[in-house]
């Protein structure tokens, strides 16, 4: 009778030993690294502002301390456990939401608030949420108009106008 | 005796029809303002200042006070339903309040928030009547050294409320402090981390950050979920299920009382007293609870205590304003402006020279809190019905509201961009296992901390020993260090003195 030995695995790098599923672990490692870099950059910029000037705290003191803490603590978080996500995430829908965010940031001042809002909503409702075309158009226009009426007419918020109106002197 | 007769005088003034009407307008407007992202009580009160010229001073302050504590409740509604804090002090309600909503208990959460606020409001009014002027004089002794120590204690407590590990929470506190330094340095005028972009020179606004970190990031998290995991649990059908039951009250009664006391005393303090009170209450209840593991998963105590602390703090903030003429926060500063424009100088003589204003405002809070409950409890069903809207429509609508809300803060597209960037930051942090709650609270406290520390060091001629020389500040710093080291000490003690094994019953 032959004795079966368990398969030998190569020793793992300590960072790979963080428990948790692969995508969550990658997100966790990326977050920690980016936060650490942000802390180091902030601390370096704060150093140049001056930590202590004429016997009193300078403009760079709190940013320097915060930046250093952020860098150190982010590195310290690297080995922490990562909780499993609820389920495999949907990868398509967020992209349309991100596109809508881009529209909301860039277009209101160009095409006007109503059109920009409607377009952003359409991207999310029809393309992201995969609702039927007619219903999506209806909901997009309705919500956009309702939002404009509420904020512009009722609350008096001067929402962005189309740039063409400014060019013709309106 | 004097307080008793003062309250009676105040009730007589507050019960006048015009004053009741303005109280109702203030409370209703405040609730609406609190619900809408971007708008806040400071901006609303500022907008209404010109209207107060034509009003009686007492009626004006009654209305403005109603807007303030009405906005606190309104901010809790959005915190509970969609995890977007309307006010900085309602961030804590996002934790257990929103979790209750996700479990189909939105009605109970909203109802408990309303009742806890009401009870805290009533207790706070009694406290103001009995102890107000005395406490105001004590609070006056709270200088920059003590404020800095209080904020540091608050930052340590923030770590304890977070659902993430302590190191991750501390990292978020550090990031929040860093973000609070963006903008012009208040001493030298030097632009910090503005990168040549003018909107950043003014610093980052709390409303914009909150909208982005919580509102936008929550929508992106929702968008990432699969279809079968997205919609909220079905809302309850019967009215009985909409409100807290006996078991809920049994759990919440002591947190409400403790939160009221904590909020009342901390709300007197200048700066971040009311904010520290709400999450101080959360930490306290978590520590005292026999089931601390329930916190963060829909524990009603985690909502009731902070809501009570929040409302009590909002009302006791009027004490330093009315008794000493010192506004403890930005909202009270605007109210002070309203009073001065009316030719009324708040201070130690206000109670005797103008009892209609002093006691009228205090007594009106009783009516205002009652109006909040009467207005909002029947609306709980309406608010909860919003959760029946499919996620495929609710999420896009909320994202649009967040964008427009951010714009409405300063009528600037730059705020929309900043909110969206914060939303992406919050989404990335949550995917990486970081909790954005400590970040937001540290961001709010960071500005106060820097100012207080720099003033404190000036007082101490550059020596940090000034924090040790002041007994109140020293006590708070010792408490902060103890809270920070407590988990470490516990682990060391557990390793050195392991618990004896229980005897095997089979032997």
Q: What is the pLDDT of residue A19?
A: 43
Lowest pLDDT segment from A28-32, B158-162, B208-212, B245-249: B158-162
What CA–CA distances, in Å, run from B337 to A57, A165, B46, B129? 32, 39, 9, 24
Could you give the count of Cα atoms lying within 13 Å of B267 in the half-sphere of its Cβ?
A: 33
pLDDT at A71: 95
Q: Give the nearest chain A residue to B168 (CA atoms).
A: A77
A30 pLDDT above the threshold of 60:
yes
> What's residue B491's pLDDT?
75
Q: Could you tell me how far CA A131 lies from the centroid of its own chain?
A: 25
- The whole-angstrom separation of Cα B493 and Cα B390 is 51
CB contact under 8 A, B420 and A128: no
Q: Which two tokens stand for residue B491?
A: 């682990």
The token duo for B394 is: 């609710």
Q: Which residues pair with B192 in a beta bridge?
A: B183
In angstroms, the Cα distances linking A107 to A49, A98, B212 are: 37, 14, 19
Counting Cβ atoms within 10 Å, is residue B484 exposed (0-12), middle (13-18) or buried (19+)? middle
* pLDDT confidence bin for A81, thresholds 50/70/90: low
DSSP structural state of residue B502: P
Query: Are B229 and A143 within 8 A, CB to CB?
Result: no
Whole-number mean pLDDT of chain B? 82
pLDDT at B236: 52
> What number is the average pLDDT over the span B137-146?
76
* Cβ atoms B56, B343 nearer than 8 A: no
- What band does A155 get if pLDDT is binned at 50, 70 and 90? confident
**Gap between the Cα atoms of B88 and B71, Å rounded:** 11
ipTM, 2 dp:
0.83
Bridge partners of A52?
A: A57
Q: What is the DSSP letter of A13?
A: P
Q: Are A77 and B171 in contact (CB under 8 A)?
A: yes
Instruction: Give burial (CB, 10 Å; 0-12/13-18/19+) of B291.
Output: exposed
Question: How far is the CA of B109 from the CAs of A146, B123, B282, in angstroms?
Answer: 28, 21, 15
- Give mean pLDDT, residues B72-88: 80
Closest approach of A7 to chain B, Cα-based (Å): 33
Prediction pTM value = 0.77
How many CA atoms within 13 Å lie on the side-chain side of B339? 26
Between CA A90 and CA B224 the distance in angstroms is 5
Instruction: Check CB contact under 8 Å for B178 and A42.
Output: yes
The yes-or-no verdict on residue B161 having pLDDT over 70 is: no
**Min distance A170 CA to chain B CA atoms (Å):** 19
- pLDDT for B352-385, tens place per residue? 788 888 888 888 888 888 888 888 877 777 776 7
Question: Are the CB atoms for B260 and B312 separated by under 8 Å?
Answer: yes
pLDDT value of position B66:
87
The torsion angles phi and psi of A63, rounded to 5 degrees, stand at -60, -35
Residue B246: partners with Cβ closer than 8 Å, 6 or more residues away? none
Highest mean pLDDT: which range of B151-165, B231-245, B380-394, B420-434 = B420-434
Q: Which residue has the higher pLDDT, B495 or B436?
A: B436
Tokens 């951010």 sit on residue? B406
The answer to whether the Cβ–Cβ distance between A45 and B397 falls below 8 Å is no
SS3 A19: coil
Q: How far apart are alpha carbons B313 and B261 in whole angstroms?
A: 9
Contacts of B393 in chain A (CB under 8 A): 125, 129, 139, 143
Confidence at residue A22, expressed as pLDDT on a 0 to 100 scale: 66
pLDDT digits (tens, 9 = 90+) for A98-112: 999 999 999 998 889
Q: Which residues pair with residue A56 across a beta bridge? A: A53
CB atoms within 10 A of CB B166: 17
CA nearest neighbour of B440 among B451, B456, B455, B429: B429
**Which of A83, A98, A128 has the CB atom closest to B433's CB atom?**
A83
Q: Which of A75-89, B30-44, B96-110, B344-358 has the lowest mean pLDDT?
A: A75-89
pLDDT reported for residue A10? 44
pLDDT at B233: 46
**Which of B171, B428, B431 lies at the smallest CB-CB distance from A74?**
B171
Chosen from A42, A78, A118 to mutate, greatest number of chain B CBs within 10 A = A42
Task: Show the tokens assigned to B490.
Answer: 């516990």
pLDDT at res. A88: 62
DSSP 8-state code for residue B214: I
How far away is chain B from the Cα of A1, in angstroms, using its nearest Cα? Answer: 39
Query: Which chain B residues are within 8 Å of A49, Cβ to Cβ?
Result: 185, 190, 192
Model confidence over B464-502: pLDDT tens digits?
888 888 888 898 889 888 887 877 777 777 777 766 555
**Cα–Cα distance list, B331 to A80, B40, B275, B315 (Å):** 41, 10, 13, 12
**For the segment B268-322, what is each residue's pLDDT rounded down to a tens digit?**
776 666 677 888 899 889 888 888 888 888 999 999 999 999 888 888 888 877 8
Q: What is the C-alpha R_g of chain B?
A: 23
Note the pLDDT of residue B213.
87
Encoding tokens for residue B337? 């402006």
Q: Is the pLDDT of residue B20 over 70?
A: yes
Q: Does A109 touch chain B (CB under 8 A)?
A: yes
Q: What is the pLDDT of residue A7?
A: 44
* CA-atom Rg of chain A in angstroms: 26
Q: Residue B293: its pLDDT value, please?
A: 86
Q: Which of B223, B423, B432 sits opposite A27 (nearest CB)?
A: B432
Nearest chain A Cα distance for residue B459, angstroms: 10
For residues A29 and B54, the model is more confident at A29
Task: Please report, for residues B105, B108, B491, B506, the alpha-carbon distance to residue B238 in angstroms, rounded to integers and kept in the order given.
Answer: 12, 12, 47, 51
Q: Do A66 and B175 touch (CB under 8 A)?
A: yes
DSSP structural state of residue A152:
I
The reported pLDDT for the residue numbered A135 is 94
Nearest CA in chain A to B224: A90
A32 close contact with B: CB closer than 8 A: yes
In this complex, which of A55, A109, A160 lies closest to B462 when CB atoms are compared?
A55
Residue B211: predicted pLDDT: 83
Q: What digits encode the pLDDT tens for the residues B396-429?
A: 998 998 899 889 888 899 999 999 999 999 999 9
CB A6 within 8 A of CB A27: no
CB nearest B223 (choices: A49, A66, A93): A93
CB-nearest to A97 from B177, B226, B399 is: B399
Is pLDDT above 80 for B505? no
Contact criterion met (CB below 8 Å) for B145 and B470: yes
Start-end of H helices in B83-205 = 93-102, 106-139, 144-161, 166-180, 198-201
Residues 6 or more apart in contact with residue B12 via CB below 8 angstroms: none
- Chain B residues with beta carbon closer than 8 angstroms to that of A124: 395-396, 399
Do the Cβ atoms of B408 and A147 come within 8 Å? no
| Neighbour tally for A138: CB within 10 Å | 13
Q: How confident is the model at residue B10 (pLDDT cuts 50, 70, 90)?
A: confident
């Amino acid at each position: 009778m032959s004795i079966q030995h368990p398969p030998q695995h190569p020793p793992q790098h300590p960072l790979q030993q963080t428990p948790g599923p692969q995508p969550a672990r990658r997100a966790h490692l990326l977050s920690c690294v980016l936060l650490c870099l942000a802390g180091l950059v902030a601390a370096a910029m704060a150093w140049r502002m001056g930590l202590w000037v004429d016997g009193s705290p300078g403009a760079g003191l709190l940013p320097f301390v915060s930046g250093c803490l952020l860098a150190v603590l982010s590195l310290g978080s690297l080995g922490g456990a990562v909780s499993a996500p609820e389920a495999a995430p949907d990868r398509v829908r967020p992209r349309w939401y991100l596109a809508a965010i881009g529209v909301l940031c860039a277009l209101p001042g160009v095409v006007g608030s109503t059109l920009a809002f409607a377009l952003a909503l359409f991207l999310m409702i029809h393309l992201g949420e995969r609702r039927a075309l007619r219903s999506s158009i209806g909901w997009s226009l309705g919500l956009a108009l309702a939002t404009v009426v509420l904020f512009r007419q009722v609350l008096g918020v001067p929402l962005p106008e189309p740039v063409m109106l400014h060019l013709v002197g309106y | 005796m004097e307080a008793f007769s003062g309250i009676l005088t105040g009730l007589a003034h507050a019960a006048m029809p015009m004053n009741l009407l303005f109280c109702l307008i203030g409370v209703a407007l405040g609730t609406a303002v609190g619900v809408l992202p971007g708008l806040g009580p400071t901006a609303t009160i500022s907008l209404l200042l010109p209207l107060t010229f034509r009003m009686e001073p007492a009626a004006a302050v009654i209305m403005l006070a109603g807007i303030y504590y009405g906005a606190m409740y309104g901010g809790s509604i959005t915190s509970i339903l969609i995890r977007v804090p309307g006010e900085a002090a309602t961030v804590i309600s996002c934790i257990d309040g929103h979790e209750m909503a996700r479990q189909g208990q939105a009605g109970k959460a909203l109802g408990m928030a309303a009742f806890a606020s009401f009870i805290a409001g009533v207790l706070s009014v009694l406290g103001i009547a009995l102890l107000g002027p005395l406490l105001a004089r004590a609070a006056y002794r709270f200088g920059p050294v003590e404020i800095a120590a209080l904020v540091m204690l608050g930052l340590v407590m923030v770590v304890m409320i977070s659902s993430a590990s302590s190191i991750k929470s501390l990292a978020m506190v550090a990031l929040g402090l860093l973000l609070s330094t963006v903008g012009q340095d208040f001493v030298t005028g030097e632009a910090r981390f503005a990168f040549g972009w003018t909107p950043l020179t003014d610093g980052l606004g709390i409303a914009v950050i909150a909208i982005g970190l919580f509102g936008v990031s929550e929508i992106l998290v929702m968008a990432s979920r699969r279809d079968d995991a997205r919609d909220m649990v079905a809302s309850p059908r019967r009215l009985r299920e909409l409100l807290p039951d006996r078991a809920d009250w049994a759990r919440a009664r002591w947190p409400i009382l403790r939160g009221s006391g904590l909020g009342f005393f901390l709300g007197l303090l200048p700066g971040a007293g009311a904010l520290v009170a709400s999450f101080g209450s959360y930490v306290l209840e978590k520590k005292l609870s026999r089931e601390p593991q329930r916190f963060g998963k829909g524990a009603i105590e985690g909502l009731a205590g902070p809501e009570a602390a929040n409302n009590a703090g909002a009302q006791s903030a009027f004490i330093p304003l009315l008794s000493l003429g010192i506004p403890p926060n930005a909202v009270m500063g605007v109210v002070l402006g309203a009073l001065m424009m009316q030719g009324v100088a708040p201070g130690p003589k206000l109670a005797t020279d103008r009892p209609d204003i002093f006691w009228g405002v205090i007594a009106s809070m009783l009516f205002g809190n009652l109006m909040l409950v009467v207005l909002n409890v029947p609306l709980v069903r309406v608010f909860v019905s919003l959760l029946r809207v499919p996620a495929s429509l609710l999420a896009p609508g909320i994202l649009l509201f967040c964008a427009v809300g951010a714009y409405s803060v300063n009528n600037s597209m730059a705020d929309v961009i900043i909110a969206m960037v914060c939303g992406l930051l919050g989404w990335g942090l949550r995917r990486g296992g970081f909790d954005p709650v400590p970040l937001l609270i540290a961001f709010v406290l960071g500005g106060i901390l820097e100012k207080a520390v720099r003033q404190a060091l000036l007082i101490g001629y550059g020596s940090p020993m000034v924090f040790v020389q002041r007994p109140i500040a020293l006590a708070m710093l010792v408490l902060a260090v103890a809270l920070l080291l407590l988990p470490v000490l516990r682990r060391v003690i557990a390793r050195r003195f392991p618990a004896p094994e229980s005897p095997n019953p089979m032997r």
